[in-house]
Structure 1
């Protein structure tokens, strides 16, 4: 038995409320269970109860055992003086407020139907399941499922914006700088995310703005800060970039000793740091109003037009300096652009519009539904349980479901878990 279950039972009144009595025999009528509190303090605020014919308004505290009141030292905390009812699974001692007055207590185990307890046990007693409700996941009705996915998608966007908010403050509320830092990390892909992030951090964004109008300068700046222009001697393009970087380094007193060296090992050539840094430099060189353009864009086609760039001409027949390869365009793939849209552009747009009071739920949800779902192991596993996610809204929602609810066994906070408990 978990305390969360008692919270669920009390919040939704999933027990026999007829002839409800305290452990001392006082009748109890629940007019309102109160507002669930997930922070410090009593578990439910502003409940309304009738105890032995007397109306009470105040807070409700819930424990597995009555004695936990003392384990948590609530008797010493004035925040609990307004508790009007103690709801427990097992009553093992009377409880008192700081003024020594006794609090009415309900021992809830006598009032919870066997069917509710059985459904709870069935949901949680499933060892070695990928998710607790795995065998029955397909049974959830479409209306409940789709509505919950909508909620989970927004929740995931909010979680990302919480992370962005702290970084925006560190960047002196410069939204363009925040976009550059986020894009840099995702251009590095999983292997070089930290490295590319450290490159972005090593340069003040004002210098990126200065260099953006000169593609060669920006490419030299990024490759140089990455430590990829350290050697003397190379082909003419390498020497040109190196010369430009040395000029920038001396003029702006650049340092890169804290930059994490990028890795090439076990990477597909299209993800080599040289290619990705060149693509990033071309993206900013040819789109100097990138942030505002991304915020204003409203369709998949517009986003692709803004983000689809290729590395500079040299890289058509190179993956690294000095080693020629078969000529091939180094154009950013649709799959890579989708990665940027899902992980950077959508959550950043959500954050910006919410911050500036411009958010439109329907437009944003429509945009998310116009983008294809990402492919990964979690999404493929969910596809074994019910029809596959078809768009970003659904796939991001499923990732949120798995990480924040299924992995943490938060079934009582989950609409799907609640659906099963009501069966």
Structure 2
């Protein structure tokens, strides 16, 4: 049994509240269970309880055993001086305040119905993947959809943390933050962190100044990726390398590369040199990209904005010195979908939040236009009866699995709570 189950029992009064007595035999009447704030200090604040003939207002602390009070050293913490009731599953020792007055104890195991316990044990019995996998189909669609909305915005909040950190680093330059976010996005999972470091290593003012000459942008990006370090006979390579060292000198930039980019296991169109060339062309075509990104209100607008390809050289090359059949390497719709999921919508959310604007409905509608992502987590949910029809669904399911299912946080999850209610 986990302590959060006791929090659930107390918060929702899932026990016999009519016949409560302390471990010393005094009658207990609960007027208010208090507020569960999940902060440092007692578990429930501002509860109101009648013990015997005395009405008390204060805090409630919850533990599996009474002795946990001393295990957690609450006797030394002034924050626990105002605890009026110690709620435990098993009472194994008396607990005293600093002034030696005894704290009343409620031993919950004497008042919880077997059906509630059995349902909790059924839910928390280990399964092959997640605890509720055999019960997911029982969850009401209304509960699931409302929970998905909450999960979707929790995921956006998590993504926003990285955005706000970048804002601090760039002195609140949203254009610079967007450049960093896009760079990471263009690097995908394998090269995303290296691409981000590359973007962070080049002051955005330089990107803005050099954006009128796309070869200069490409030289900066490829050079910082370590792709111009070797010596090659290729004339385009030589030109980019010359431009790179000229720009390093011009702007007094550090010459070291920002990490090793990976080609292995990538399809040729996802090679880091191809993606960096496309990123250079994006900033060559759009000098005020942030305002355009912020005005995107549909997937089609994103498709139009990201209509771009590489330098002409890369149309018949995947690597320097090796010619290949000609192919114009445009951004695919599936790639732009990822940009929408991982950059456009998070940037719009964070920016609107910074201005105090409400955009929840618009963002959900845009995310719902995007095709569902394909990965092992989404496939697994599908096998248990939860089918994702768009990226709104997949983003919420990823949040559910990563932040709730993996950590066994069933009692913090609307699905877990609904399943407990159904059988109790």
User: TM-score range, shorter-chain basis?
Assistant: over 0.9
310-319 or 197-206, which deviates more: 197-206
Q: Secondary structure at the match of 2:134?
A: helix
Could you say which residue in structure 1 is the equivalent of 2:65? 65
Deviation at 1:289, TM superposition (A): 1.1
Q: Secondary structure at the match of 1:422?
A: helix
Could you say which residue in structure 1 is the equivalent of 2:240? 241
Work out the CA distance in 1 between the residues paired with 2:177 and 2:34: 41
Could you say which residue in structure 1 is the equivalent of 2:278? 279
Structure 1 residue 33 and structure 2 residue 27: aligned? Answer: no
Work out the CA distance in 2 between the residues paired with 1:382 and 1:347: 24
Could you say which residue in structure 2 is the equivalent of 1:49? 49
Work out the CA distance in 2 between the residues paired with 1:45 and 1:308: 55
1:75-154 to 2 correspondence within 5 Å?
75-126=75-126, 128-154=127-153
Whether the 8 Å contact between 2:136 and 2:386 is mirrored in structure 1 is no
Q: Secondary structure at the match of 1:134?
A: coil
Could you say which residue in structure 1 is the equivalent of 2:370? 371
TM-score (norm 2): 0.96
Q: What do you get for the CA RMSD once the two structures are aligned?
A: 1.4
Whether the 8 Å contact between 2:86 and 2:106 is mirrored in structure 1 is yes
Whether the 8 Å contact between 1:199 and 1:259 is mirrored in structure 2 is yes
Work out the CA distance in 1 between the residues paired with 2:36 and 2:311: 57
Deviation at 1:239, TM superposition (A): 2.7
Deviation at 1:118, TM superposition (A): 0.3
Could you say which residue in structure 1 is the equivalent of 2:193? 194
Deviation at 1:97, TM superposition (A): 1.4
Whether the 8 Å contact between 1:290 and 1:306 is mirrored in structure 2 is no
Deviation at 1:263, TM superposition (A): 2.2
Deviation at 1:32, TM superposition (A): 1.3
Structure 1 residue 18 and structure 2 residue 30: aligned? Answer: no
Deviation at 1:141, TM superposition (A): 1.0
Deviation at 1:2, TM superposition (A): 1.3
TM-score (norm 1): 0.96
Q: Deviations over 1:107-157 (max 9, x none)?
A: 00001110000000111122x421101111111110111111111111111
Q: Deviations over 1:58-95 (max 9, x none)?
A: 11000111111111121121111111111000111111
**Deviant stretches of 4+, over 6 Å:** none
Deviation at 1:236, TM superposition (A): 3.0
Whether the 8 Å contact between 2:213 and 2:284 is mirrored in structure 1 is yes
Work out the CA distance in 2 between the residues paired with 1:111 and 1:308: 65
Whether the 8 Å contact between 1:202 and 1:258 is mirrored in structure 2 is no
Could you say which residue in structure 1 is the equivalent of 2:411? 412
Q: Secondary structure at the match of 2:202?
A: coil
Work out the CA distance in 1 between the residues paired with 2:307 and 2:101: 70
How many pairs are equivalent?
A: 422
Work out the CA distance in 2 between the residues paired with 1:394 and 1:263: 31
Q: Deviations over 1:228-257 (max 9, x none)?
A: 223444333223322322221221122232
Work out the CA distance in 1 between the residues paired with 2:224 and 2:337: 27
1:142-221 to 2 correspondence within 5 Å?
142-221=141-220
Q: Deviations over 1:3-31 (max 9, x none)?
A: 11101100111111112111112111112
Whether the 8 Å contact between 2:237 and 2:320 is mirrored in structure 1 is yes
Whether the 8 Å contact between 2:309 and 2:328 is mirrored in structure 1 is yes
Could you say which residue in structure 1 is the equivalent of 2:391? 392
Could you say which residue in structure 2 is the equivalent of 1:334? 333
Work out the CA distance in 1 between the residues paired with 2:370 and 2:376: 19
Whether the 8 Å contact between 1:74 and 1:97 is mirrored in structure 2 is no
Work out the CA distance in 1 between the residues paired with 2:163 and 2:140: 35
Q: Secondary structure at the match of 2:309?
A: coil
Q: Secondary structure at the match of 2:7?
A: helix
Whether the 8 Å contact between 1:198 and 1:258 is mirrored in structure 2 is no
Work out the CA distance in 2 between the residues paired with 1:359 and 1:241: 45
5+ residue gaps, structure 1: none
Work out the CA distance in 2 between the residues paired with 1:67 and 1:356: 49
Q: Secondary structure at the match of 2:135?
A: helix
